[in-house]
Amino acid sequence: GKVLVTGCNGFVALWVVKQLLEDGYAVRGTVRRESATPYVKDLFKSYGDRFEVMIVPDITKEHAFDEVVKGIDAIEHLASPFYLTADDPQEIIGPAVAGTVGILQSALAHANDTVRRVVITSSCAAVLTDDPDLSKSRTFDETHWNEHAMRDVAERGRAASQPSKYQASKTLAERAAWDFDVVALNPPFIYGPWLHEVKTAEQLNTSMLAFYNTVIKGTKTPEQLAREGQSWVDVRDIAVAHSRALQREEAGDERIIVSSGPWNWQDFVNAARKVEPSLPAGNTAYSSETAVYHTCFDNGKSKRLLGMDYRTMDEATRDIIAQFREKGWL
Ligand code: NDP
């Protein structure tokens, strides 16, 4: 079958495309800029005509996806803004919601006979509730919804916190998707080696830039390194989850958290220093045995429905550091 992958030049989507091609699917990727096409075409040239790229210039326009859904058997929707510098929250919420609703409407109108499954890349941002008290541990599951971010944005608008603006965009987009028959995948922070076009470290996507600044540049205090963190998943595992979400009957109509486990930044620092001892040591008094992991997610459903078996932090970190080294950014 042929799978449509939106925003296919992004950090996560390129791994999704690669996994689908490896699993035997044909893939039609979308990008919003013509200038993004040569790089992705070149990346997957060994797959010949099983990979093609189409341009959707503005995902917020009605009927934006009408042409690209034609003849498609399944959809993986990833195009959505992920940055933490928006002024007006609508800057992020607008494309997140309109893109999600738009692709579902286009699929119903123009590919209803062929599309068997639609996977929406939601986020644990749509699940968790931020809590400034980092001294206690909380575990979220698929029954939880991020009410807090939506309230923050509704009440404070532009003055809402940056995480709230992004989290509200993912919550509202996923809510809108549930008016249709979809699979929602909810990953926490995604890290790992990257395939996308990055000429300087500053061009890394939001999650990997945070990793670079914290672990390589050492921008956080020892206190922050020991207390700040969340949960994470390897980008290659989230790609596997996207492919299996198409293959497994039982995933249909399900919301699935795809998380490897919790972390505090010092855990990544320690994992990185195992392979690159010259990196900043951070908090040398930290112990993972006694640390508090304040944002945990139950990943049991992902194991049951998708058969997930997660890569370890050591493996992910080793591969990330190797890529930074290769780039000369250490
Ligand atoms: P990237 O920034 O690397 O990729 C985002 C993709 O979406 C790019 O193709 C980008 O296009 C496209 N896009 C962004 N804004 C718009 C817009 N307004 N109109 C059209 N296209 C747009 O991000 P990630 O790969 O990290 O994220 C991919 C998906 O995964 C998103 O849905 C994100 O919410 C989700 N996610 C990511 C996590 C992470 O830690 N990275 C964690 C949980 C969920 P362009 O290159 O042209 O800007």
Q: What is the pLDDT of residues 21-78, one digit of tens each?
A: 999 999 999 999 999 999 999 999 999 999 999 999 999 999 999 999 999 999 999 9
Q: Which residue's CA lies nearest to atom 7 of ligand 1?
A: 79
pLDDT the model gives residue 138: 96
Reduced to 3 states (helix: H, G, I; strand: E, B; else coil), residue 92 is: helix
Q: What is the mean pLDDT of the chain?
A: 97
Q: Is the dihedral of CA 197, 201, 202, 207 positive or negative?
A: positive
315 pLDDT above the threshold of 90: yes
282 pLDDT above the threshold of 90: yes
pLDDT tens-digit map of 133-159: 888 999 999 999 999 999 999 999 999
Query: Can you give the residue ranges of every domain in the chain?
Result: 2-323
As for ligand 1, residues whose beta carbon falls within 6 Å of it are 7, 9-13, 32-33, 36, 59, 78-82, 95, 121, 123, 170, 187, 189-190, 205, 207
pLDDT the model gives residue 328: 96
Q: Are 302 and 258 in contact (CB under 8 A)?
A: yes
Q: Is the dihedral of CA 19, 195, 86, 84 positive or negative?
A: positive
pLDDT the model gives residue 2: 98
- Separation between Cα atoms, residue 14 and residue 79, nearest integer Å: 11
Q: Which atom of ligand 1 is nearest to the CA of 189?
A: 40
Pick the closest to residue 246 from 183, 187, 293, 172 (CA basis): 183
- Does domain 2-323 sit in CATH 3.30.1240.10? no
Report the separation in Å between the CA atom of 4 and the middle of ligand 1, taken as the mean of its atom positions.
Answer: 15
DSSP string covering 226-286, please? Answer: HH-EEEEEEHHHHHHHHHHHHH-GGGTT-EEE---EEEEHHHHHHHHHHH-TTS----TT-
DSSP string covering 4-15, please? Answer: EETTTTSHHHHH
pLDDT the model gives residue 241: 99
pLDDT the model gives residue 192: 98
pLDDT the model gives residue 16: 99
Report the separation in Å between the CA atom of 92 and the middle of ligand 1, taken as the mean of its atom positions.
Answer: 11
Write down the pTM of the prediction.
Answer: 0.98
Residue among 55, 80, 97 to mutate when testing ligand 1 (max atoms within 8 A of CB): 80
- Record the tokens describing residue 154, joined without a space: 């509704």
- Separation between Cα atoms, residue 43 and residue 56, nearest integer Å: 20
76 beta partners: 5, 119
Q: Are 16 and 196 in contact (CB under 8 A)?
A: no
pLDDT tens-digit map of 194-245: 999 999 999 999 999 999 999 999 999 999 999 999 999 999 999 999 999 9
pLDDT tens-digit map of 92-112: 999 999 999 999 999 999 999
pLDDT the model gives residue 292: 96
pLDDT the model gives residue 246: 98
130 pLDDT above the threshold of 90: no
DSSP string covering 158-227, please? Answer: GGS-HHHHHHHHHHHHHHHHTTS--EEEE--EEES---S--SSGGGS-HHHHHHIIIIIS--S-HHHHHH
pLDDT tens-digit map of 242-260: 999 999 999 999 999 999 9
- Sorted by sequence, the CB contacts under 8 Å of residue 191 that are 6+ apart come out as 207, 208, 211, 232, 233, 234, 235, 268, 316, 320
321 pLDDT above the threshold of 90: yes
pLDDT the model gives residue 134: 84
